[in-house]
Amino acid sequence: MRDGAYNMQLPSSRALLHKLASELIEGLFAHVLAEVAMDVANHARLANQEMHEPALLQRECRFTELAVEHAQANFHNDDVIRMCVRMAEIAPGRRSEFLLRAGSICVRTGRPKLAESYLLQAEGDSRTEANRLGELGVLYKGLGRTEESRLAFERSIDLHRTSGDDRARARVQLNLAGLIMHIGRHDEGLALMQESLALARATGDRGLEGVCLANIGMAQHDVGEVAVAARMYEAALAVHRDSGNLREEGVVAGYQAILEQETGHLGKAEFQMLEALKIHEQTGNRRMALVMLGNIANVQRLTGNFDRSAELYRQALDLAREVGERTIEGTLLSHAAALAEDTGDRTRAAQLNQQALAIARETDNRRGQGAILNALAHLATLGENYVEAESLFQSALEILRQTRYRMFEGVACCDYSLMLIKTGRIDEAREQWTKGAAILREIGELHELGRKRATHEQACAGAGIEPFD
């Protein structure tokens, strides 16, 4: 009935009603204007379709921008993107600004095709160009387009340095540091992260300071500095809670959960991962949501819940492919391969690892290559293909040592020891086991060490020798 009455009005009368509604809503809800800004703007838009008044267009612009801020603060990402695109159409001289903003939200919420479309249209002045290139760098990194990502980051940094915008430069440098570590240049990446942290503190950017602390923690974690990583995560979490940055709080909580997993506290780890997943879903952080699904799948696999683990890997892989996260897709495939091995399907495990290795090479993920080569070497050992296994172990260990991937170096040494036991090279086997166990013990990987020790003791019993420790 209401729609029928509305449609019976002349277009000019409807326009007047919309104009009046826009003004009345503003007056009646002045105390909560941000919450109703979208309605105020929408009525102004509908009125102006007939009236064509500059004042109504200005009104729509003003309240749409207010609505964008409110929607973004409350993680209503679909509304933010839609309204930014509208602002790009109607706001004089601000098209690039709002396309850049829409593209940035698309990057962070896992919409790569839309993100690239908006960002490629957002060309503007040097400041806009620097920010646009920085966002393209993040997008291309996730898509596995490593060289394009590096070039975009470096051009962005140069523009920010020229303009003297140290705060923006620090943020892009931090992203470049992550890319550099991804291709195996750990020390160079860590130095860039520390420089970004200094710039964040110098410019008073508390949010960026927290992100830098978390990233440095993750970098230290990767090389086995577990105590340092734990301190960095605690410091980052305190900063994010103090500044009310829920999105980044969820990211750090996920990092802390990994530490719990690696030290054998699987129940606590899963609880923290589930809490982090809730935050990622609330804030629309699809990239970290799929990472967390994969991490929960890992815990389920380690506790023997294989069916649940397989379902979570499927969900995470579907999401990774939907949002175009090629690097994470490769990692998930390698984890699904480990599940296949645990359930006795070595053929499937080898197939999945080969798929994962192809993606790791495509995306220049050197650390991933090392870990996957070791998994393939271990499978070759189980299949008694010892010549192939030794070649793969040596390739894996070379990469893992070059990239300082301490956890997987320890795992690879233990796995290599198993092959050496099976081929009767006991002294060499003892040397590799001692190295690997020492690394895993040093970095607190107690659960993984326990798993490797069980396999080691079984192999020693089969060879008629005493365990090495």
Comparing CA positions, the residue from 448, 380, 444 lying closest to residue 416 is 380
Q: Count of alpha carbons within 13 Å of 446, Cβ hemisphere only? A: 9
Task: Note the helical H segments in 74-145.
Answer: 77-90, 95-108, 112-121, 126-142
pTM: 0.82
Provide the pLDDT confidence category of residue 14 given band limits of 50, 70 and 90: confident
Comparing CA positions, the residue from 95, 119, 91 lying closest to residue 105 is 119
Q: Answer with the one of 57, 80, 101 that is the final residue of a domain.
A: 101
Question: Two tokens at 21?
Answer: 């509604």
DSSP-derived secondary structure letter, 9:
S
Residues 195-213 pLDDT 10s: 999 999 999 999 999 999 9
Q: Count of alpha carbons within 13 Å of 357, Cβ hemisphere only? A: 18
**H or E segment to which residue 467 belongs:** none
Q: What are phi and psi of 468, to 5 degrees?
A: -80, -15
Residues of the domain holding 417: 376-469
Q: Would residue 339 count as lying in a domain? A: no
Q: Would residue 35 count as lying in a domain? A: yes
Q: What is the C-alpha to C-alpha distance for residues 362 and 318, in angstroms, rounded to an integer?
A: 19
Q: Would residue 303 count as lying in a domain? A: no
Q: Would residue 257 count as lying in a domain? A: no
Residues 144-186 pLDDT 10s: 899 999 999 999 999 999 999 999 999 999 999 999 998 888 9
For the segment 309-338, the average pLDDT, to the nearest whole number, is 94
* 2 pLDDT more than 70: no
Q: Answer with the one of 101, 117, 137 that is the final residue of a domain.
A: 101
Provide the pLDDT confidence category of residue 9 given band limits of 50, 70 and 90: low
Contacts of 55 (CB under 8 A, 6+ apart): none
Q: Would residue 44 count as lying in a domain? A: yes
Residues 117-148 pLDDT 10s: 999 999 999 999 999 999 999 999 988 899 99
For the segment 437-460, the average pLDDT, to the nearest whole number, is 90
Q: What is the C-alpha to C-alpha distance for residues 164 and 167, in angstroms, rounded to an integer?
A: 9
User: Over the chain, what is the mean pLDDT?
Assistant: 92
Q: What is the pLDDT of residue 1?
A: 47
Question: For residue 290, which amino acid is it?
Answer: L
Q: What is the pLDDT of residue 279?
A: 95
Q: What is the C-alpha to C-alpha distance for residues 341 and 319, in angstroms, rounded to an integer?
A: 23
Residues 246-296 pLDDT 10s: 999 999 999 999 999 988 899 999 999 999 999 999 998 988 999 999 999
Is the Cβ–Cβ distance between 99 and 121 less than 8 Å?
Answer: yes
Q: Would residue 173 count as lying in a domain? A: no
Q: Count of alpha carbons within 13 Å of 267, Cβ hemisphere only? A: 0
Q: Would residue 126 count as lying in a domain? A: no
For the segment 102-113, the average pLDDT, to the nearest whole number, is 91
Residues 363-416 pLDDT 10s: 989 999 999 999 999 999 999 999 999 999 999 999 999 998 999 999 999 999
Q: Would residue 26 count as lying in a domain? A: yes
Q: Answer with the one of 78, 101, 124 that is the final residue of a domain.
A: 101
Q: What is the pLDDT of residue 3?
A: 55
| Structural domain count of the chain | 2
